[in-house]
Amino acid sequence: MSIATKRGDGGQTGLAGGIRVSKADERVESYGCVDELNTVLGFARSICTDKEIAGWTEEIQRTLFRVGSALATPPESRKTPPVITTADVDMLTGLVEKIEAIQGVLADWSLPGAHTESAAYEMARTVCRRAERQVVRFVESGGEVQPEVIAYLNRLSDAIWLFGRLIEFNAGIDARLRPEDKAGPKWSRAW
């Protein structure tokens, strides 16, 4: 059996339970963004030399498979969607609190790119925020989503941002923004 079924050649795809929808459907876009996030996190994990952060990332990736599956399962499906729980959200909250408790990690906002590994997590953070916005857009358009899905993505972007800060902190890199960086554009009005 080939993965090239040709069933999607006309712009339709199958949701969990066999329901066919447009590939441009908000639900498809939502779980597609979560899939992209999982892939970007996989890249970040693949280059992360911090075993603890890599382990946390792998656990998050496994949960993201459940998040994507929950999004891909409409209420009318024959399949029961996986449940995203408050315990999933609480796990991320615990990670956030653990990293925030490290003296010096939260010195200020940082400029992405000071360290290769932290830059990979910065990319994942922005994809996470996009996935969160897409899921909210889906809900606002009438789609049904477990409330913990949005909470999970919101907390996840905080945790991912902190992973980058912790990597920089452990490497002794100060990537904090300078005061003039926060003051606005420096280039001339002639531009």
Q: Which pTM was predicted? A: 0.86
Instruction: Answer whether residue 4 is part of any domain.
Output: no
From the centroid of its chain, how far is CA 113? 18
Distance of alpha carbon 53 from alpha carbon 47, whole angstroms:
11
Helix axes 26-47, 116-140, angle to 10 degrees: 170
Domain holding 29, by residue range, is 19-173
Residue 84 in domain: yes
**7/1 Cα distance (integer angstroms):** 14
| pLDDT surpassing 70 at residue 93 | yes
83, burial (CB in 10 Å: exposed 0-12, middle 13-18, buried 19+): exposed
Q: Does 14 fall in a domain?
A: no
Does residue 70 belong to any structural domain of this protein?
yes
Instruction: Say whether pLDDT at 48 is over 70.
Output: yes
CA atoms of 31 and 49, how far apart (whole Å): 29
Q: What is the pLDDT of residues 124-179, one digit of tens each?
A: 999 999 999 999 999 999 999 999 999 999 999 999 999 999 999 999 887 665 55
